Structure 1
Amino acid sequence: MAQSNDSLVREFVQAFNTKDADRLASYLHPDVVFHAYGDEQVRGRDAVLQVWRGVFGTFAEVQFTTVHQAVDGDVVIAEQVHGLGLPGRPVAPVMNMAIYEIRDGKIAAWRDYTNPQHATRLISG
C-alpha cells in the first residue's frame, strides 16, 4: 500500500532533524522543483540535496516540526517551525509555510514561504 501524502510529508520534515541530506532523497521526485521565497528555483533532486548539504553544514542545530498540516489530494500545505541554530547560538524558531505537490508518491514541487529578513534577525540574534 502506498504511503499517504500526509505521512510522506510529515516524515520528510522529520528527516531534516538528522542533518543528513541523503536521508531526504527518498522523498523527492527526481525532477523536483524547490522554491524558497526570495531565492531562485532549484531543479532536480541532486541540486536540491546540494542546497540542503550547504544548510546543514552552516547550522549546528536543525529542528524542524510541523504545527498544522492539510491535505487535498496530491497537495499538502504545512505550517512549520524551522528551528535553526548557528554554532554557539540558540536555536531560532523560524515560522514557515510550505506547499508540496506529490507525484508518483514523491515530492515533485516544494515551495517554502518564510520572511527572509525576519528569519535572518532571529537566527543572528
Structure 2
Amino acid sequence: MQPKELVESWVKAFNEGDANKISSFYADNAINHQVANEPVEGKAAIHAMFSEEFANAEMVCITENIFQDGDWAILEWKDPIGLRGCGFFQIENGLIVFQRGYWDKLSFLKAHDLPIPQ
C-alpha cells in the first residue's frame, strides 16, 4: 500500500472513532507528535491516546488534500466546525513510524467544551 492510500484508510478509521482499527496502522515503535502536545511513543500509547480522544470529543476529518513524497504522506484536513490542520506521516514497511500534526489546540478545546490547561 502506498503512503497516500494508507493515509486514506487512516482517515476512514479516524472517522469511525475506532482506536483499535486506527492503531493497527502504526508500527510498534511509532511516534505520534501532535505539536500542541508531547510526543506519544509506541503503538500501545498511541492506542490509549486515540481511545481517550475518541471518548472525549466527536471528531471528523474531512480530507482536503493528500500528497505523497517517497515514504511520506501529507494530509491537509478540515472538520465540520471550521478547524483546519495538517499531518505528516512517515511510512515504512506499510506502517506509520512517525506522525506529526499541526492544529490549533485552544480552538479545538473551546469548540468541544473541554477544559483549558492553565
* Interval containing the TM-score (normalised by the shorter chain): 0.7 to 0.9
Q: Please tell me whether the aligned partners of residues 67 and 80 of structure 1 are also in contact (alpha carbons under 8 angstroms).
A: yes
Q: Does 1:68 align with 2:65?
A: yes
Q: Does 1:111 align with 2:107?
A: no
Structure 1, unpaired ranges of 5+ = 84-91
Aligned mates of 1:23, 1:118 — CA distance in 2: 27
Aligned mates of 1:58, 1:12 — CA distance in 2: 19
Aligned mates of 2:55, 2:95 — CA distance in 1: 25
Aligned mates of 1:25, 1:52 — CA distance in 2: 8
Task: Specify the SS of the correspondent of 1:15.
Answer: helix
Q: Please tell me whether the aligned partners of residues 23 and 46 of structure 2 are also in contact (alpha carbons under 8 angstroms).
A: no
The Cα of 1:25 is off from its aligned counterpart by 2.4
Aligned mates of 1:123, 1:79 — CA distance in 2: 21
* Partner of residue 33, structure 2: 35
Aligned mates of 1:42, 1:94 — CA distance in 2: 22
Q: Please tell me whether the aligned partners of residues 64 and 82 of structure 1 are also in contact (alpha carbons under 8 angstroms).
A: yes
* Partner of residue 21, structure 1: 19
Query: Is the strand fraction higher in 1 or 2?
Result: 1
| AA of the residue aligned to 1:37 | V
Structure 2, unpaired ranges of 5+ = 114-118
Q: Please tell me whether the aligned partners of residues 82 and 96 of structure 1 are also in contact (alpha carbons under 8 angstroms).
A: no
Aligned mates of 2:106, 2:39 — CA distance in 1: 19
Give the structure-1-normalised TM-score.
0.83
Q: Does 1:94 align with 2:83?
A: yes
Task: Provide the alpha-carbon RMSD of the alignment.
Answer: 1.4
Give the structure-2-normalised TM-score.
0.87
Q: Please tell me whether the aligned partners of residues 35 and 112 of structure 1 are also in contact (alpha carbons under 8 angstroms).
A: yes
The Cα of 1:23 is off from its aligned counterpart by 0.7
Number of aligned residue pairs: 113
Residue range with higher mean Cα deviation, 5-14 or 111-120: 111-120
